[in-house]
Structures are given as C-alpha cells and as structure tokens.
Amino acid sequence: MTDVLTVRDLRAGYDGGTVLDGVDLTVPEGGVVALLGRNGAGKTTLVHTVMGLLKPYSGSIRVGDRDLAGAAPHTVARSGVAIVPQGRRVFAPLTVEENLRLAAGRDRAGRAWTVRRVYELMPRLAERRGHRGDQLSGGEQQMLAIGRALLRNPRLLLLDEPSDGLAPAVVDDVAVLLEGLRGEGIAALLVEQDLHLAFRLAGEVAVMRKGQIVHRAPTSEFRADRARAHALLGVG
Ligand SMILES: Nc1ncnc2c1ncn2[C@@H]1O[C@H](COP(=O)(O)OP(=O)(O)OP(=O)(O)O)[C@@H](O)[C@H]1O
Ligand SMILES: [Mg+2]
C-alpha cells in the first residue's frame, strides 16, 4: 500500500524551542491513523506543521509525491490536505451557508464534494443553514468544520480532537459521520483523546510522547495490550 502522508525526522517548535523532536509517521492511502498522546505531547503542533501553519526547523513532509515541508498552507491545501482544527474555529459571524460557500470556493465541475452533498450528508446543517456560527451547538459546529474540510475535496483529512467538548451522544453522531466517509477513499490523521472513538475509526494507532512517535500498532493489537496503553497514555 502506498502512503498519502510521509513525515520523516520532522523538527519544529516555537521561538527556537523544540516541540517536535524527530517525528516519523506515515498514513496509508485511504487509511485512518489515530494519533494518541498526553496533553502537550505535540499532536496539534504536528498537525499544524503538516498543514503549513508552522514552519519546520528540519525534516520532510511528503503528500503523495510532493515535498511540502515549509510550504504555505494554501499550497498544502492544493495538494489535497484539509484540517478540522482543535476547537473547531468556524467563522462565528457567518452563517452555516456562508461558511460552506466560502470553503467551496467557485464551484468547479467534477469535484466530489459540493455544498449540496454536505447538506445531504449532514441534514442538521441544512436545517441550520441560516444560523450564524456562534448560534450553533458544539456538535453542529464540529459538523460544520468537517463539512468545510470536505469541500476542499481532500485526500488527507487532519482531524484534531473532533470529540473535544462534545457530549457522548454527539460524539456518537460525529463517529457515525466519520465512519460514513470510509468508503470515500479519504485518508485521515485523527488526533483523539477519546480512545473509544479512536479505536472505532482508526486502523492503526501511533502514540506521541515528548515530540516523538514512540509506538505504532494496528488498532486491534493496541487495544488488546492494556498494560502498554496504560504505560504510554496513563489510561486503562
Ligand atoms: N503557539 C505556541 N507557542 C508556544 N508554545 C506552544 C504553542 N502551542 C503549543 N505550544 C507548546 O508546545 C507543546 C505541545 O503543544 P501541542 O498543542 O502541540 O500539544 P497537544 O499534544 O496537541 O496537546 P493537547 O492534547 O492538550 O491538545 C506544549 O508544551 C505547548 O505548551
Ligand atoms: Mg492539541
């Protein structure tokens, strides 16, 4: 299987300080890899560096056959990478419809995702299309953030804690939604603290500690090894 994302010996941080300390990570074409790790491990920093929001000190980031280390976010986006940021970050003063239209850009023929298709996938958003971003529930904002990312027609989605701050029933809605995307051939790097959600969606897990990937395993193997999960994540 070929990889859609290949990160090698990636170093990055803030103001000269090191957060990512030699990250090696791959995501297979169409596959979902859960990125686990304690608070402050560097997960969001990795997602931002892949997206071009933070320039790496060194190392390589390949998406397909393009080397994107240090590339600007719009260049990374054009290579087929879309981000669902931690904390969702929808545009509060804009309506659902405006948020989606902005993400869709000018409608181009032959694109897999359209605003209409996002509404079909998430009828809830269609009902709320005239509501402003700041009038949505947390779950609705998360759906809007996912819808916006899909409208970029990505081959790789970077999902940074999609369950963060959501009630369990709403996390389930998001899980059903993301499961429904499996057949679409979109690969995902899924940062998640909710292990149930991570295990449900991901074929493999990667564990980050202090800016390095310290463990990688198929999900089935990882979830069977409770002692290791506890040692790496501090949870049972
Ligand atoms: N903008 C920033 N400026 C300076 N330091 C930062 C900045 N963002 C994050 N850091 C630091 O980088 C380290 C890694 O943070 P990061 O947000 O990548 O962790 P994380 O694994 O995503 O954590 P969480 O699970 O809490 O979201 C932390 O020590 C954090 O304080
Ligand atoms: Mg984070």
Q: Is the CB of 87 under 6 A from ligand 1?
A: no
195 belongs to a structural domain: yes
* Percent of the chain residues past pLDDT 90, beyond the cut: 73
What value does the mean pLDDT of the chain take?
92
Q: Tell me, what's the pLDDT at 52?
A: 98
pLDDT of the residue at 107: 60
Overall average pLDDT of the 12-26 stretch: 97
Task: Report yes or no on 112 lying in a domain.
Answer: no
Question: Is residue 141 assigned to a domain?
Answer: no
Token couple for 116: 């209409």
For atom 2 of ligand 1, which residue has the closest CA? Answer: 14
Is the shortest distance between the CB of 42 and ligand 1 below 6 Å? yes
Q: Among the listed ranges 5-9, 110-114, 230-234, which one has the minimum average pLDDT value?
A: 110-114
Please tell me the distance between residue 44's alpha carbon and the centre of ligand 1 in angstroms.
7
Q: Which residues pair with 6 in a beta bridge?
A: 26, 62
pLDDT at 234 exceeding the cut of 90: no
Place of tokens 């879309």: 82
What is the C-alpha to C-alpha distance for residues 92 and 133, in angstroms, rounded to an integer?
4
Tell whether ligand 1 has an atom less than 6 A from the beta carbon of residue 44.
Answer: yes
In a domain, 147, yes or no: no
Q: Is residue 136 part of a domain?
A: no
- With residue 216 as reference, give the H or E element that holds it: strand 212-218
Q: Which residues surround the ion ligand 2 when the cut-off is CB under 5 Å?
A: 43-44, 86
Helix (H) or strand (E) holding 3: strand 3-12
User: Cβ atoms within 10 A of the Cβ of 59, count?
Assistant: 18
Q: What is the predicted pLDDT for the residue at 32?
A: 97
Q: Per residue in 137-174, pLDDT tens? A: 888 999 999 999 999 999 999 999 999 888 888 898 88
236 pLDDT higher than 70: no
Cα-to-centroid distance, 185 and ligand 2 (Å): 25
Q: For ligand 1, atom 27, name the residue with the nearest CA.
A: 39
The share of the chain scoring above pLDDT 70, in percent, equals: 97
Kindly tell me if the per-residue pLDDT of 29 is higher than 90.
Answer: yes
The residue assigned the tokens 């509060």 is 92
Token pair, residue 227, equals 């002692």
Whether residue 131 is contained in a domain is answered as no
Nearest residue to 41 via CA among 207, 215, 229: 207
Give pLDDT, residue 169. Answer: 86
Average pLDDT over residues 22-27: 98
Rounded CA-CA distance 108/129 in Å is: 22
Does 122 map to a domain?
Answer: no
Beta strands, E only, 13-149: 20-28, 32-36, 58-63, 66-67, 81-84
Domain membership of residue 143 (yes or no) is no
Q: Does the pLDDT of residue 227 top 80, yes or no?
A: yes
Give the pLDDT band of residue 109 (cuts 50, 70, 90).
low
Long-range contacts of 167-170 (CB under 8 A, 24+ apart): 167/138, 167/139, 170/137, 170/138, 170/139, 170/142
pLDDT in tens, 34-60: 999 999 999 999 999 999 999 999 999
DSSP SS3 for 210:
coil
| Distance from C-alpha of 36 to C-alpha of 216, rounded to nearest angstrom | 10
pLDDT, tens digit (0-9, with 9 covering 90-100), for 193-224: 999 999 999 999 999 999 999 999 999 999 99
Rounded Cα distance between 206 and 204, Å, is: 7
**Joined tokens for residue 127:** 């009902």
Q: Count CB neighbours of 95 within 10 A.
A: 18
Is 80 exceeded by the pLDDT of residue 90?
Answer: no
The domain in which residue 227 lies consists of: 3-90+153-233
Structure-model confidence comparison of residues 180 and 145, the more confident one? 145
Strands 212-218 and 204-209: antiparallel
The Å distance, Cα 116 to ligand 2 centre, comes to 31
What is the domain-level CATH number for residue 183? 3.40.50.300
Total of domains in the chain: 1
Answer whether residue 176 shows pLDDT above 60.
Answer: yes
**C-alpha 110 – ligand 2 centre gap (Å):** 35
Is the beta carbon of 49 within 6 A of some atom in ligand 1? no
